[in-house]
Structure 1
Amino acid sequence: MTIQWFPGHMHKARLEIEATLPKVHVVIEVLDARIPYSSENPLLEELRGTKPCLKVLAKSDLADESMTARWLAHFSQEEGVRAHAVTTDDVPTIRQLKQIATQMVPERRGRTIDIMICGIPNVGKSTIINFLANRKIAKTGNTPAVTKQQQRVSIGDSITLVDTPGMMWPNVHNVRSGYRLALLGSIKETAMDYADVGFFAARFMRDSYPDRLAQRYELDELPDAELEIIEAIGRKRGCLGKSRLIDIDRASRILVTELRSGQMGSLTLESPESSRRERSETKRAIAEKEAATAEKDAKRKKRFRDKQRAKRKSQEMQ
């Protein structure tokens, strides 16, 4: 499955972020603690450069606690970066973010501070903003892309938050990241296939949390194949279609919905080590694709030039 979900307002958001970034002092990037690598926006990393960045691992109550600790240590090794994990119902922890962000720019002590807060869709950014401001400023919802335009929010102590719409990037080149984003609700349903994502979820749970999968759906024996897992879930949940065949789409929706909402327990879908491998693989794949495109374009231009030369030669011979 290739994710290509980049609505018009996201393109506008990128242009606004690019124009506003030089004027802010700190960037807060909100990530999903279950997929810290896949929820990082490579466009933002490219645009912010050396600007101090506080990476906030939201929804950490849904993530594996030990893995979250590893991710915090991983991010803290990056120059100019600090990392902090929060949950959406721990208000005191969220409000600490303001103090942490101001500590990252000691030269601004006693002066106004502008902080840009960014994140992919449906990562919990709006909830964090509302707690920081101590009032409802940003719209919240369980569907991605609720915020449509940039806004400035005063949160006291001479600090202004620049809220940006949840922004994806035009192409998610890493296939596994695409599946993870779809699985956790950062991609609109119209841009994903539930059965496809369900197969990915079944494979992940089989490999990483097999006991939870078997216990959740009361499976005496866990099948090896993804299709058989989905069919087993369908039988247990009564997902029968015509001729008593398992409705694969319906069974997949059940698995995706329950994993996404935390009913499968706290889990993390990637590690710092796997992210390094995938980052390297993705970089290589992009380079190979660009090289292939360049070669194809060069051949096309050569055919055009050869055709033009042949045409001129034919005209000269007449």
Structure 2
Amino acid sequence: MKTIQWYPGHMAKARREINEKLSMIDVVIELLDARIPVSSQNPVIDELVQHKPRLILLNKTDLADPKQTEHWKHFFERQGHAVVEVNSQTGQGVKKIVPACQALAKDLYRKWESKGMKPRALRAVILGIPNVGKSTFINRLVNKRQAKVGDRPGITKQQQWIKVGTSLDLLDTPGILWPKFEDQEVGFRLAATGAIKDELLDYGDVAAFVLRYCLDVYPELIKKRYQLDDDIDGEDMGSLFDEIGRKRGCMLRGGLVDYDRTAELLLRELRSGTIGRITLERVPTPE
């Protein structure tokens, strides 16, 4: 697979606009996909936000392996970040956001108090890669439809300020991907969860990556969903696609398996959680 490069003009513009607004921001909120926490963490954001207090939200926890989500939460806390688990669809964890931002801004409150200033609403910026669920999360947070929502990356095209009650002003930003992914597995994970537009990668390659990973880490979920034998050969992708395609009716004329439909089915069922709660990367082992 070639190095993935995807840096549309609106993303370069978004990065520039975020940089321009940072001087007035008190807290940075970073939304990550709980299924791929590091792969969905944009390294450009580290360069942008530098020493600003950061709240990490692990989103889509309903689709992720709960044990792995707990491991990832501790991982980011050890790095010095506050972490909240959220589910934008149900609203789980959303009520914790404003208090978490206020806790991160305690030094700022002390500064205002020492100068005899009346506290104003905190200003936070929310950052995340495309299709991480940012717009759905914001609508949950403000309890109304403020941000456009879609199931494909790149819905938010421009910045907008959104009031969250009287205590928080939130700057919404377009999702930003970085110019290229040196680690090809990062590209596969982003493609598997829908963060990269589907037409940029081959469905078959991404589905094969998911199958190999799940047969290694979550074999029972895959075998149960697709009625595979216990002695199935996880290295023989052709036979695996044949068996899944036949059992799920993804067929062409002449009795041949439609590999494209089989791959599409697998990715659709991964993204919806139909296969089960799956996390596609593990916390790094300390060296």
> What is the DSSP-based 3-state SS (H/G/I as helix, E as strand, rest coil) of the residue aligned with 2:4?
coil
Q: Does 1:47 align with 2:48?
A: yes
Q: Which residue of 2 aligns with 1:245?
A: 256
Match of 1:196 in 2: 205
Q: CA deviation at 1:242?
A: 4.3
Q: Does structure 1 retain, via aligned residues, the 8 Å contact 2:34–2:69? A: yes
The Cα offsets for residues 161-205 of structure 1, whole Å up to 9 and x where unpaired, read as: 010011111101111111000000001112111011111111111
The answer on whether the counterparts of 1:117 and 1:164 sit within 8 Å (CA) in structure 2 is yes
* Cα offset, 1:160, TM superposition: 0.8
Residue 241 of structure 1 and its aligned partner are, at CA, apart by 2.2
**TM superposition shift of 1:92:** 5.7
Match of 1:23 in 2: 24
TM-aligned CA deviation for residue 220 of structure 1: 2.5
Instruction: Give the total of aligned pairs.
Output: 275
Secondary structure in 2 aligned to 1:240? coil
Deviation at 1:4, TM superposition (A): 1.8
1:288-299 matched pairs, under 5 angstroms: none
**Cα contact 2:88–2:140 (8 A) shared by 1:** no
Give the whole-Å Cα distance in 2 for the aligned partners of 1:31 and 1:178: 15
TM-score by length of 2: 0.91
Distance change >3 Å, CA 97–CA 74, structure 1 → 2 = same
* 3-state SS in 1 of match to 2:83: strand
Does 1:144 pair with 2:145?
no
Structure 2 distance, partners of 1:107, 1:201, is 44
Superposed CA deviations along residues 257-278 of structure 1, whole A, max 9, x for unmatched, are: 101110111111111216x78x
The alignment status of 1:209 with 2:210, answered yes or no, reads no
* Distance in structure 2 (CA, Å) of the matches to 1:31 and 1:131: 16
Could you say what the CA RMSD is over the residues aligned between the two structures, in angstroms? Answer: 1.6
The 1:200/1:215 distance shift into structure 2, 3 A limit, reads same
* Structure 1 match to 2:61: 60
1:223 aligns with 2:233: yes
Once the two structures are TM-superposed, the CA of residue 88 in structure 1 deviates from its matched residue by 2.1
- Counterpart of 1:102, as a letter, is Q
Residue 3 of structure 1: aligned partner: 4
1:106 matched residue in structure 2: 106
SS at match of 2:84: strand
The separation in 1 between residues aligned to 2:13 and 2:257, in whole angstroms, is 43
Residue 165 (str. 1) matches residue 171 (str. 2): no
How far did 1:245 drift?
Answer: 2.1
1:199–1:227 CA contact under 8 A, matched in 2:
no
CA contact (8 A) 2:30 2:55 kept: yes
AA aligned to 1:52 is P
SS of residue in 1 equivalent to 2:124: strand
Instruction: Give how far 1:156 is off.
Output: 2.0
Name the % identity. 43
Structure 2 CA distance for aligned equivalents of residues 124 and 204 of structure 1: 24
Gaps of 5+ in 1: 278-318
Q: Secondary structure at the match of 2:5?
A: coil
Query: Equivalents in 2 of 1:231, 1:22: separation in Å?
Result: 56
Which of residues 116, 123, 127 is equivalent to 1:118? 127
Q: 1:281-304 CA distances to partner (integer Å, 9 max, x unpaired)?
A: xxxxxxxxxxxxxxxxxxxxxxxx
Unaligned runs of 5+ in 2: 110-118
Deviations 1:121-178 (A, max 9, x none): 1111111111222221101111111111111111122421010011111101111111
Find out whether 1:269 has 2:270 as its counterpart. Answer: no
Q: Which runs of 4+ in 1 moved over 6 A?
A: none
Who is 1:93 aligned against?
Answer: 93
The structural deviation recorded for 1:249 is 1.2
Q: Report how far residue 218 of structure 1 moved.
A: 1.2
CA positional deviation for 1:108: 3.4
Task: Quote the Cα distance in structure 2 between the aligned partners of 1:227 and 1:46.
Answer: 43
One-letter code aligned to 1:46: E
Work out the CA distance in 1 between the residues paired with 2:283 and 2:92: 28
User: What TM-score, normalized to structure 1?
Assistant: 0.83
